[in-house]
């Protein structure tokens, strides 16, 4: 059997063996340069992505200081696997989640292990593969509605356009035509204010600062109250069993998203009706509220940023763009993509996977140990903070040679086979792996393929694009010029 040769000249087997050795003999280190009282706060605040990426040279698990408190950065893929594999020991908790839960609630993404398993069983039903055709139909309609407004020669604020699109898709998948357009617009306005506020509240050490009546704090409080009202009003419209009842936040008709849709369950009906197979229990209203909040916060910005980054990258990678266009033209022959086309859009998927490696929307994950453990040869007491950065892991040269090079073909099956499972971890791993991974990738593929079939987005100048790490990693303001393109005649 021939061996797949990597870009470094080493065989796939050799690279895997090296990785396995690294897993078996992980090394722990300590980051130099901690200042008294401040620890590593300054490089972390100034250039968190560079700081976290640079930690790998100190070991597979590296101790840093957040002020006076220690934290450990997971730099090795093997160590990350170990953490993801044991969600009970490496749980969501500690001071960061204590700050986040009063804002976003105790939904799937923030709940501790003891609540998580039950919640996951209930929510999983809404993310089964057999739900995807319904969601994909919603995605197709919304993509079409947005693209119909595009005109050649216009300069597009790509981030804003995609945020609007993914908000509409997520809301329609959740509430299927039961939310008025102005409620969607309200969500669109509130969500970025809340994610920004959650971020500053988790990084700023002094809680009292958030209670000051500053304009930013007042904006945050107003946005949160408005978001909660919209969610509550919509849930109230569903009655006690699934399926929107009377008095919805906006019955189907003019001015609602997805007016006139027929039957079929939306995500919300599934959440309300979901019965725990083990206990037969259902979610309370409060729990449903927290899950809706979680899905909005987890599903809208992530996918919008993934696609925004993709357009940015394609704008500077003419060869990649040409191959993408060729594939889309050949597979789609000028028609909009459907779910059945996605397996054939192999290069398109590899492009997105490579973007996820270089610009993972969730660039920073956090865990706390619930008992004393030994990790990478280091003993950590219960209550230790762990930091996992999919951004830094995606740029580990031991796993991804020449990591700054944008190379979708690293994900060709033969080459990807030599990578550690879940390499880069853009969707996390184990029991807490992203529940919306299939939903998000389907959405991103459909947006990318639909746009690529009809449009080319060119950089339109303005401020240079820089990764902006907040709760998610965005390209910041991204202005691009819309050029229409003709699909090339497909091969016979």
**Candidate list 180, 427, 455, 465; residue touching ligand HEM; CB under 6 A:** 427
Stretch that binds ligand HEM, among 61-69, 133-141, 197-205, 292-300 (CB under 6 A): 292-300
Binding mask 111-140 for ligand HEM (x = CB under 6 A): ---------x--------------------
Q: Does an H or E element contain 388, and which?
A: strand 385-388
For ligand HEM, the binding residues in 162-191 under the rule CB under 6 A are 170
Quick check: 337 binds ligand HEM (CB under 6 A)? no
Strands 69-74 and 385-388: parallel
* Maximum Cα interatomic distance, the chain, rounded to a whole number of Å: 70
- Among residues 116 and 378, whose Cβ is nearest to ligand HEM? 116
Residue 35 CB, nearest approach to ligand HEM (Å): 29
For the chain, report the end-to-end CA distance as a whole number of angstroms. Answer: 34
Residue 169 CB, nearest approach to ligand HEM (Å): 9
- Among residues 107 and 177, whose Cβ is nearest to ligand HEM? 107
**Candidate list 256, 294, 370, 474; residue touching ligand HEM; CB under 6 A:** 294
Residues near 346 by beta carbon (within 8 Å), at least 6 away in sequence:
327
**Candidate list 140, 177, 192, 298; residue touching ligand HEM; CB under 6 A:** 298
The residue number with the shortest CB distance to ligand HEM is 436
Residue 309 CB, nearest approach to ligand HEM (Å): 10
CA distance 190 to 184: 10
**Candidate list 55, 71, 73, 109; residue touching ligand HEM; CB under 6 A:** 109
- Among residues 478 and 482, whose Cβ is nearest to ligand HEM? 478
Distance from chain centroid for Cα 448: 16
Stretch that binds ligand HEM, among 238-246, 313-321, 373-381, 433-441 (CB under 6 A): 433-441
Residues near 303 by beta carbon (within 8 Å), at least 6 away in sequence:
162, 166, 361, 440, 443, 444
Strands 455-459 and 468-469: unpaired
DSSP states along 446-484: HHHHHHHHHEEEEE--SSPP--EESSSEE--S-EEEEEE
- Among residues 365 and 457, whose Cβ is nearest to ligand HEM? 365
Quick check: 295 binds ligand HEM (CB under 6 A)? yes
Quick check: 400 binds ligand HEM (CB under 6 A)? no
Distance from chain centroid for Cα 379: 31
CA distance 347 to 210: 46
Quick check: 80 binds ligand HEM (CB under 6 A)? no
**Candidate list 94, 299, 394, 422; residue touching ligand HEM; CB under 6 A:** 299
CA distance 418 to 16: 6
Stretch that binds ligand HEM, among 75-83, 298-306, 341-349, 372-380 (CB under 6 A): 298-306
Binding mask 344-363 for ligand HEM (x = CB under 6 A): ----------------xxx-
Residues near 38 by beta carbon (within 8 Å), at least 6 away in sequence:
65, 67
For ligand HEM, the binding residues in 50-79 under the rule CB under 6 A are none
Residue 119 CB, nearest approach to ligand HEM (Å): 7
Residue 382 gets which letter from DSSP?
T
Quick check: 424 binds ligand HEM (CB under 6 A)? no
CA distance 60 to 265: 46
Residue 198 CB neighbours (<10 A): 19
DSSP states along 271-327: HHH---TTT-----HHHHHHHHHHHHHHHHHHHHHHHHHHHHHHHH-HHHHHHHHHH
- Count of residues of this chain found to bind ligand HEM when the rule CB under 6 A is applied: 25
Residue 3 CB neighbours (<10 A): 12
Stretch that binds ligand HEM, among 72-80, 438-446, 453-461, 477-485 (CB under 6 A): 438-446
**Candidate list 426, 452, 480, 482; residue touching ligand HEM; CB under 6 A:** 426
Interacting residues toward ligand HEM by CB under 6 A: 108-109, 120, 170, 294-295, 298-299, 302-303, 306, 360-362, 365, 426-428, 432, 434-436, 439-440, 444
């Amino acid at each position: 059997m021939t061996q797949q040769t990597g870009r470094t000249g080493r065989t796939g087997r050799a690279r895997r063996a090296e990785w396995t050795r690294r897993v078996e003999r992980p090394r722990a280190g300590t980051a130099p340069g901690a200042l008294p009282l401040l620890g590593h706060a300054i490089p972390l605040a100034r250039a968190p992505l560079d700081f976290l990426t640079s930690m790998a040279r100190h070991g597979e698990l590296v101790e840093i200081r957040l002020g006076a408190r220690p934290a450990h950065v997971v730099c090795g893929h093997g160590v990350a696997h170990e953490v993801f594999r044991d969600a009970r020991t490496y749980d969501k908790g500690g001071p960061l989640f204590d700050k986040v839960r009063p804002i976003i609630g105790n939904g799937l993404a923030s709940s501790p292990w003891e609540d998580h398993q039950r919640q996951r069983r209930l929510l999983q039903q809404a993310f089964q593969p057999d739900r995807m055709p319904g969601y994909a139909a919603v995605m197709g309609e919304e993509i079409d509605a947005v693209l119909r407004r595009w005109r050649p020669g216009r300069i597009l604020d790509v981030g804003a356009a995609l945020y609007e699109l993914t908000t509409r898709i997520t809301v329609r998948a959740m509430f299927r035509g039961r939310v008025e357009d102005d409620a969607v617009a309200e969500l669109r306005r509130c969500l970025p204010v809340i994610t920004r506020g959650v971020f500053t509240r988790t990084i700023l050490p002094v809680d009292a600062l958030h209670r000051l009546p500053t304009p930013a704090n007042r904006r945050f409080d107003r946005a949160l109250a408005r978001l909660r009202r919209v969610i509550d009003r919509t849930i109230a419209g569903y009655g006690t069993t699934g399926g929107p009842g009377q008095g919805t936040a906006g019955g189907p008709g003019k001015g609602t998203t997805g007016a006139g849709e027929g039957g079929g369950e939306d995500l919300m009906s599934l959440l309300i009706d979901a019965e725990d197979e083990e206990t037969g229990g259902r979610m309370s209203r409060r729990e449903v509220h927290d899950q809706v909040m979680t899905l909005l916060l987890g599903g809208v910005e992530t996918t919008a940023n993934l696609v925004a980054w993709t357009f940015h990258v394609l704008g500077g990678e003419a060869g990649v763009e040409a191959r993408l266009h060729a594939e889309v033209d050949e597979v789609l022959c000028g028609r909009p993509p459907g779910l059945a086309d996605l397996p054939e859009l192999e290069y398109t998927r590899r492009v997105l996977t490579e973007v996820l490696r270089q610009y993972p929307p969730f660039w920073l994950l956090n865990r706390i140990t619930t008992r004393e453990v030994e990790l990478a040869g280091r003993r950590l007491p219960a209550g230790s903070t762990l930091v996992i950065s999919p951004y830094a892991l995606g740029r580990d040269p031991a796993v991804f040679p020449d990591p700054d090079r944008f190379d979708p073909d690293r994900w060709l099956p033969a080459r990807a086979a030599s990578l550690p499972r879940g390499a880069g971890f853009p969707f996390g791993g184990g029991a807490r792996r992203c529940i919306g991974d299939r939903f998000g990738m389907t959405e991103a593929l459909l947006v990318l393929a639909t746009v690529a079939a009809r449009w080319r987005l060119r950089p339109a100048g303005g401020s240079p694009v820089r990764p902006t790490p907040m709760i998610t990693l965005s390209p910041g303001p991204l202005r691009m010029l819309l050029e229409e393109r003709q699909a090339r005649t497909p091969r016979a």
